[in-house]
Amino acid sequence: MVPSPPTPPLVFLPNGTGLSARHARPAAGAADATRVLEKYAIEINSILVDIVIESDPAEPVPLYRLSIANISPTTKIILEKIRQEFVSRMNMVDLEKFETAEQVISIREQFKAEIRDLIMKYFPQTDEPTVNMLVNYLLEENLGLGKIEILLKDSSLEEIVVNNHAEPVWVYHRKHGWLKTNVLIPSEARIRHFATIIGREVGKEITSLNPLMDAHLTNGDRVNATLAPISNKGNTLTIRKFAEDPWTISKFINIGTIDPESAAFIWLAIQNELSVLISGGTGSGKTSMLNAVSNFFPPNQRILSIEDTRELTLPANLHWVPMETRLPNPEGKGGVTMLDLLVNSLRMRPDRILVGEVRRKREAEVLLEAMHTGHSVYATIHANNADEVVMRLTNPPIDIPRQMVSSLSLILVQNRNRRTGKRRTLQIAEILTDGSPRVLYQYNAQKDAVEKIAESTVVMDRLKLYTGMSREEIALDLKQKTQILRWFARRKIEDVHEIGQRLARYYTGSLVLE
């Protein structure tokens, strides 16, 4: 009897389909080869850094590798000797005793002189620019945040995460999602020291008795730190970077987050002062979308924004007043809440009010009351779809009457696929007179596209009432807006301030599509 051939193993594809090995299509190239996804360079204090993002079959996520380009391996060895000699001269633990920023600057200047002397000892023929570069390198390695400073300078990164000293630092990249870096923090003490440095900048401290710290830095970055044993594996740092190059509507169109037709519908609603609530889960792009749709505000209106942490960047030509909450001091005094700013903003004659996030009942009540009194309001809320938004608003802890929700015109839902890292507009829904949502645009995951699934009734009636336009005229206006947005995307007009200038011309009737 001839034995039957062994059954080949199953090969599971990412969507869960199982194929036998003999039917599976072989991957292009060698199975164990790494593949470069992206390469670029950044500069920090005259130090050139090469960034390589590559896919390694042995790793579950892509790798983010940084290397200092203008310092040779031999020089790095000598610099490490200098660093060790420097540490032996100066008791680095004494840094913990300096509490004010002025004291830290003073000791930094003293250390800078010491490091310069050591460099001249080992590199006597070095020119002045190179000496300065090497001094900066050693200062950051010893007194600053080390290679985390380099990560902070990479504008493509949104988040930097230190889980403990035994694991590499992780980063969240705008294009590639979560990446594992080749940066390691040498000890738990060093992580704690980093947290102390950051806290000192904003007058906060982190200690064994106070092992949690949430800090908003002056540059807009938000930092959270925890100490072991509260975080079981070790001390942690989570840095959410402030977007120096903010998201705009044309960027979202070009990466497929939203399509021009859906964006044109949102533009039409915002132009005509209809209120919009943007929802989604953590990291889905709610605030980024709020920033993007703010591109549509006319320049002749007064805009107030209220945030816990400054994340929004509106076009420079807008009449915009940004405001930020403040935590109370250690004695529990001096705090300014979101509600305080929201109530106060109504006395500042705003035409538009932007709110970073609605969390509490009183905030939602004031927000909806502002809508009832004729203000246009734009805010974010944590909810995964349009139905959940209404459920969150009408149930504890927010728990407002369902009839009040009808003052809201649109819900825009953002979603992030955690497997692929793609951010997409999931739904655009209008609010009916009874407070229930009606989805007009829905994301089709199979086609990776937003599809129109229903015609608007409530929003369309409001637009006809406020503008006097017929449905046909509104359709023509939408078509023109879609054409403009396609042109922006095609011409790569993605800078927030340039978009603001172009849209100002649109509102004055002088926009020309070259």
SS (H, E, C) 490-513: HCCCCCHHHHHHHHHHHHCCCCCC
Give me the pLDDT at residue 26, please.
Answer: 47
Angle, helix 458-467 to helix 471-490, in steps of 10 degrees? 100
Q: At residue 79, does pLDDT exceed 80? A: no
- List, for residues 453-499, the tens digit of each pLDDT value: 999 999 999 999 999 999 999 999 999 999 999 999 999 999 999 99
Query: Using omega within 30 degrees of 0 as the cis cutoff, is the peptide bond preceding 6 cis?
Result: no
Q: Are 206 and 231 in contact (CB under 8 A)?
A: no
- Residue type for position 294: S
Give me the pLDDT at residue 108, please.
Answer: 66
Q: Which two structure tokens, joined as six digits, stand for 127?
A: 């020119």
Give me the pLDDT at residue 71, please.
Answer: 74
> Tokens 């391996």 correspond to what residue?
73
Alpha helices in 320-401 (DSSP H): 338-345, 361-372, 386-394
Give me the pLDDT at residue 106, please.
Answer: 64
Alpha helices in 123-255 (DSSP H): 128-142, 147-153, 188-201, 249-254
Q: At residue 398, does pLDDT exceed 60? A: yes
Q: Are 20 and 27 in contact (CB under 8 A)?
A: no
From the list 63, 245, 65, the residue with the least C-alpha distance to 150 is 65
- List, for residues 200-251, the tens digit of each pLDDT value: 877 788 999 999 998 877 777 889 999 999 999 999 999 998 877 889 999 9
Query: Using omega within 30 degrees of 0 as the cis cutoff, is the peptide bond preceding 397 cis?
Result: yes
Give the three-class secondary structure for 345: helix
Round to the nearest angstrom and report the end-to-end CA distance of the chain: 79
Q: At residue 343, does pLDDT exceed 50? A: yes
The structure's pTM equals 0.78
For the beta carbon of residue 114, count every other beta carbon within 10 angstroms. Answer: 15
As a whole number of angstroms, the distance between CA 62 and CA 55 comes to 5
As a whole number of angstroms, the distance between CA 21 and CA 238 comes to 42
Give strand ranges (E) for 338-436: 352-355, 376-382, 410-416, 423-431
Give the three-class secondary structure for 197: helix
Q: Are 321 and 302 in contact (CB under 8 A)?
A: yes
Give me the pLDDT at residue 23, please.
Answer: 43
- List, for residues 99-141, the tens digit of each pLDDT value: 455 555 666 677 777 778 878 888 887 788 888 888 777 777 6
Higher-confidence position of 25 and 474: 474
Give the three-class secondary structure for 161: strand
Q: Are 504 and 299 in contact (CB under 8 A)?
A: yes
From the list 217, 192, 164, 175, the residue with the least C-alpha distance to 62 is 175
Q: Are 271 and 467 in contact (CB under 8 A)?
A: no
Q: At residue 25, does pLDDT exceed 80? A: no
The DSSP result for 121-151, as a single string, is HH-TT--HHHHHHHHHHHHHHHTS-THHHHH
As a whole number of angstroms, the distance between CA 2 and CA 490 comes to 64
Give me the pLDDT at residue 418, please.
Answer: 80
- List, for residues 35-56, the tens digit of each pLDDT value: 999 999 998 877 788 999 999 9
Give me the pLDDT at residue 91, please.
Answer: 55
Domains along the sequence of the chain with CATH: 53-240 (3.30.450.380), 249-326+336-507 (3.40.50.300)
Q: Are 247 and 291 in contact (CB under 8 A)?
A: yes
Higher-confidence position of 394 and 202: 394
User: What are the C-alpha distances in Å from 392 to residues 274, 339, 386?
Assistant: 21, 18, 10
